[in-house]
A and B are shown apart, each in its own frame.
Chain A
């Protein structure tokens, strides 16, 4: 009898083990889109209806927005909307940025896509290329006033073949950050703040272009003995100050300063390297390995150079990067300022990052989703942009934004450069669609690292090889 009880007990224990190993634990399951940011999240149901109200799900955060400090403001914006709308129930779904694309993909694959996504940049949106709603009919039917935004910013959101997939919300033009004291120490004039103006080099006016930038970079790159990179005694093994850095710019961004372009030909399937991008990459390679004015990868990632944030380390004189870089330059001292992007072949291009909200193409409630979107980019924009630290696309709101930055950077930064740069966007965006977007970006990162860490390369051959690699990746999407 005891043996039988023991055996039955063992059997039950075995079954319990199997169930424990294979089964889920009650209470562990969470709605898709659960976040580590600690916000309370309602269970999501796609395009559902709550009583008489239509439920609209706002998915955040493929761009900014997942910081715990930002969530209360986002929730307050949602609450304010819900209080003023009986017909729409806006539901906020916060997902950590690191996992947002995966969660979003899973929701889409499961037929549970959200209605509104944002703030999302071009890159985050292109990961879901072709799946955003063309807002044109809704803009027209609702009479939404697009004229409050600069036409360039509106056009930037008008993607060929997809239509007006976004309304301008937050813009981050790029420009040249530079250290005034380093220029003064080298006896150089500061770079021009106005687009179209020349640079004065050794008393003579020269075009403000990348050739001039390279010369300035050589004069501003200094070794431990105080020799600049033009000196025959210059010691490239012991550099203490570098002339230039494409700060946080991937190869596409670095290429687009020489002119806008795309890695995808017009047919949407053929890989291409725009000629001026190839020129830009060779210019950079020369700066790294011949002139030694740009850090190689090992130097860039070294802790003493700021682990990649090299402009902030105070060891780099000039850096082309975006307006959002004001987030990360707090340790660089109070002598930096902004200048215009140099020209290439007579044209300046300030490549853009731009965040906005988008509506999922297959939303069951496009009108209601557009009503929410309109609210987010207008009435709620001041609160949201403030917590996101983003420059308003609407020029009327920009002065207040820059006044806030002046409180942080009191040296008198010429923010007009940022405003002026809005007129020189890269269109198509350097982040624009390529087939197999994530794989292609991965290859771009690796190729940039290779150029930045390998001396003696035949860059033309490497670029040709990279193009072949891209083509293989593009073919995968067919």
Chain B
């Protein structure tokens, strides 16, 4: 394109752009995502690869032996390590208790909040969500006090009705229900997600179901659940990942020592202690990778199963 120089009056020719518009936009796009990409590379991918390499070495900060490659020794040791299997069993046992509650209760509460019969819906939404904004560690300490067998108000309330409350956090039979209760503190976000899903279900479908003679349970089974299945799938996937990485509550409540009777010696606790208490970096990395593979496998199974039970309204096949 010709341009007139205002001072000299001469015509000059601007150089054509080196890159096409699309390419320049792509470059700028890449530039703008580069902070995340560099962060991912340096803080996630490189450490991940490093830990994978660690699993084939003997890095232990307490050891006097020189660094060497040990092949699959760490994985062989893992197979023989009863504590690792016990910790995995503890994690799955807790998952069996915590996951159904963590899925069903927020869904049920969201159904209640979505009910037209409920007055003060926004008030209740705020009420349920409010605990979520409180720092979780503070909440754990608060729950520790509430579950105190003598001074806690939960047992205090039970004793008002003549029921002797259990020693929630120190009795192996009651510790999982207690931990699930602690976990329910943060279900506000799950309620909001479920509520958003429920509010997106087209009301015409309910009208049509009613015309066809469906009652409340029929509508729930044939309309609500299918249309909520993507949300349930999302919650289930995140729930599985979360519960298999369960860590903070047992660490804060029990300092990770597994009390009572090893019932809170979760896999992630064992992993953490192997890294940072036993300082066995190689075996800790092995545990981390095994946990990663287990979570990945379960997640892949969930995604595979989704085709049978998750309904996407806009999906075309």
Contact = CB atoms under 8 A, between A and B. Distances in A.
A14 B167 contact: no
B262 A469 contact: no
B167 to A, nearest CB: 4
A134 B222 CA distance: 78
Nearest to B258: A446
A10 interface: yes
Nearest to B166: A298
A7 interface: yes
A446 B262 contact: yes
A302 B167 contact: yes
Contacts of B258: 445-446, 449
A22 interface: yes
A128 B262 contact: no
A201 interface: no
Given A14-B32, A442-B278, 13 more contacts: A14-B31, A105-B61, A298-B171, A301-B170, A302-B170, A439-B280, A442-B257, A442-B273, A446-B258, A449-B257, A449-B261, A449-B262, A453-B259
Interface in A277-307: 297-298, 301-304
Contact of A298 (B35, B38, B260, B283): B260
Nearest to A11: B31
B82 A109 contact: no
B239 interface: no
Interface stretch (B14-22, B109-117, B144-152): B144-152
Q: Which of A7, A303, A442 has the largest count of B CB atoms less than 10 A from its CB? A: A442
A433 to B, nearest CB: 12
B64 interface: yes
B150 A304 contact: yes
Nearest to B276: A102
A22 B40 CA distance: 11
B260 A297 contact: yes
B277 A442 contact: yes
A443 B257 CA distance: 9
Contact of A18 (B38, B62, B170): B38
B215 interface: no
8 nearest A-B residue pairs (beta carbon): A453-B261, A105-B61, A298-B170, A298-B167, A453-B260, A450-B261, A109-B61, A301-B170
Given A14-B34, A105-B62, A301-B170, A443 B83 contact: yes
B1 to A, nearest CB: 16
Looking at chain A's contact residues, the main secondary structure is helix
A105 B63 CA distance: 9
A476 B39 contact: no
A127 interface: yes
A131 interface: yes
Interface in A414-463: 436, 438-439, 442-443, 445-446, 449-450, 452-454
Looking at chain B's contact residues, the main secondary structure is loop
14 contacts: A7-B28, A10-B32, A14-B32, A102-B276, A105-B61, A302-B149, A302-B170, A303-B149, A439-B280, A445-B257, A446-B262, A449-B262, A453-B260, A476-B81
A18 B259 contact: no
Contacts of A476: 77, 81, 280, 283
A469 B80 CA distance: 9
B81 A472 contact: yes
A298 B61 CA distance: 36
A21 interface: yes
B287 to A, nearest CB: 12
Contacts of B83: 443, 446, 469, 472-473
Contacts of B54: none
A435 to B, nearest CB: 11
A131 B277 CA distance: 18
B42 interface: yes
Given A22-B42, A102-B279, A127-B62, A472 B259 contact: no
A297 B64 contact: no
Contact of B61 (A106, A439, A454, A475): A106
A438 to B, nearest CB: 5
Contacts of A403: none
Contact of B39 (A21, A128, A442): A21
A28 to B, nearest CB: 18
A131 B148 CA distance: 44
B313 interface: no
Contacts of A452: 261
A22 B43 contact: yes
A17 B277 CA distance: 33
A105 B277 CA distance: 10
B100 interface: no
Contacts of B260: 297-298, 301, 449, 453
B64 A131 contact: yes
Contact of B35 (A21, A128, A473): A21
A400 interface: no
Nearest to A98: B255
A397 interface: no
Q: Which of B42, B170, B274 has the largest count of A CB atoms less than 10 A from its CB? A: B170
A454 B278 contact: no
A301 B278 contact: no
